[in-house]
Structure 1
Amino acid sequence: MSTELQTLPHRHVITLPTEPSAVRTARETAEQALLEWGIGLRHPTVDPALLILAELVTNSVRHAAVLSPTVTVIYAAGPDCLALAVHDRHPYQPPLYGTVTDTGTRTGGLATVMELTLALGGTAVVRGDADGGGKSIWITLPL
C-alpha cells in the first residue's frame, strides 16, 4: 500500500440523503465503481470492504442525520490500494482504535469496521473538518 491517496488513479464521489436507503446506494455504487476500475467483485478484499462501507454509512444515518442532512462517500483505488471515506457534518469523532482494544465494552458497527480493516492489513483514520463541524472516516485497504 505504498500509493498516496492523492495519486490514486480512480476516484468517485457520491452525496446522498442521510437516510436508510443511502446504505444500499453507497454499496451498489461501490460495486459499480470497482467493476469499472477492473477490480472483480470476487477479489478477497471486496466483500469486507463493502461491509465496512455499509457499517460506516449506517453509522452516519443512525447518529449524524440530526445534524447532517447528507452523507458523502468517496471511493478511490489504485493498483495496490482501495480507499473508502464516509463524511458527515456531525462533529463527534469516534475513537476508532479504542473499539478494538477495549475489554469488550464497545461492540457494534465500528468495532466490526476496525476488526475487518486491521485483519486485512489496512488503516483507518478520522479526519475532522477544518471548522470542527463534521468529519470523514477514511479506510485504506491493500489490494
Structure 2
Amino acid sequence: MTARPEALPLRHVLTLPTMGAAVRMARETTEQVLAEWGVGPRHPGVDPVLLILSELVTNSVRHAAVLSPTVTVYYAAGTDTFAFGVHDRHPYRPALHGPAVGTVGGLAMVSELTRGLSGTAVVREDPDGQGKCVWVTVPLRGVGAP
C-alpha cells in the first residue's frame, strides 16, 4: 500500500478521554464513519478493522493514560483505501512486527490482521518525541463511493 493517510480526501477526527469507554465509542464511531463512506457492516474488512482499532485504543487506555489524558483516532479514506491512526501522548513507541510465537492478542494480532487485509501499519513519533500515532492503512473497495 502506497497511499499515505494525509493524501486521502475523506477525513474525520475523534478525541476521547483515555478511559475504558473510549474503546466502545471509537468502535461505534468507526462503524458510523465507514457506513458514511460507503462501507457497510457486512464488508469483509470491517470486523478485522474494528478489532485492530479496539486493540490499539485499548493499548492507549491501558498503557498511556498516565501521560495522555486523551486518545485521538484519525480517519482518512479514498476510493478504495481506509486508514486510521490512534494517537496518544505517551513517548513509548511499540514495535510493530510479525506475530510472536505463542502470543494471542496485542500488537502481534494487530500485525497479523493488518497483513491479512493486505494493509500496512506504522508507528509515527510526534515531532516533540512525547507521543506517537499508530497508523493502519488497508484496501477496502467501496470507500468514498457515492
Q: Same fold (TM over 0.5)?
A: yes
Shift of 1:34: 0.8
Is the 8 Å Cα contact of residues 30 and 50 (structure 1) preserved in structure 2? yes
The CA RMSD measured in Å over matched residues stands at 1.4
Aligned match for 1:133, one of 124, 130, 133? 130
Alignment pair present for 1:118 and 2:118: no
Give SS of 1:92's match: coil
Alignment pair present for 1:28 and 2:28: yes
- Once residues 35 and 95 of structure 2 are traced to their aligned partners in structure 1, the CA distance between those partners, rounded to angstroms, is 32
- Once residues 47 and 26 of structure 1 are traced to their aligned partners in structure 2, the CA distance between those partners, rounded to angstroms, is 14
- Once residues 5 and 109 of structure 2 are traced to their aligned partners in structure 1, the CA distance between those partners, rounded to angstroms, is 23
- Once residues 3 and 95 of structure 2 are traced to their aligned partners in structure 1, the CA distance between those partners, rounded to angstroms, is 25
Structure 1 residues 48-67: aligned runs within 5 Å: 48-67=48-67
**Which 5+ residue runs of structure 2 have no aligned equivalent?**
141-146
Is the 8 Å Cα contact of residues 3 and 80 (structure 1) preserved in structure 2? no
Shift of 1:40: 1.2
Is the 8 Å Cα contact of residues 117 and 138 (structure 2) preserved in structure 1? yes
Is the 8 Å Cα contact of residues 18 and 60 (structure 2) preserved in structure 1? yes
Is the 8 Å Cα contact of residues 128 and 135 (structure 1) preserved in structure 2? yes
Q: TM (normalized to structure 2)?
A: 0.90
Partner deviation per Cα, 1:12-39 (whole Å, 9 max, x = no partner): 1011000000000001001111111111
Is the 8 Å Cα contact of residues 19 and 61 (structure 1) preserved in structure 2? yes
Give SS of 1:44's match: coil
Cα 1:31–1:69 change in 2 (3 A) is: same
- Once residues 132 and 42 of structure 1 are traced to their aligned partners in structure 2, the CA distance between those partners, rounded to angstroms, is 39
- Once residues 58 and 86 of structure 1 are traced to their aligned partners in structure 2, the CA distance between those partners, rounded to angstroms, is 10
Structure 1 residues 77-88: aligned runs within 5 Å: 77-88=77-88
Equivalent in the alignment of 1:96: 96
Partner deviation per Cα, 1:43-71 (whole Å, 9 max, x = no partner): 11111001100000000000000110000
- Number of residue-to-residue matches in the alignment: 140
% same residue: 66
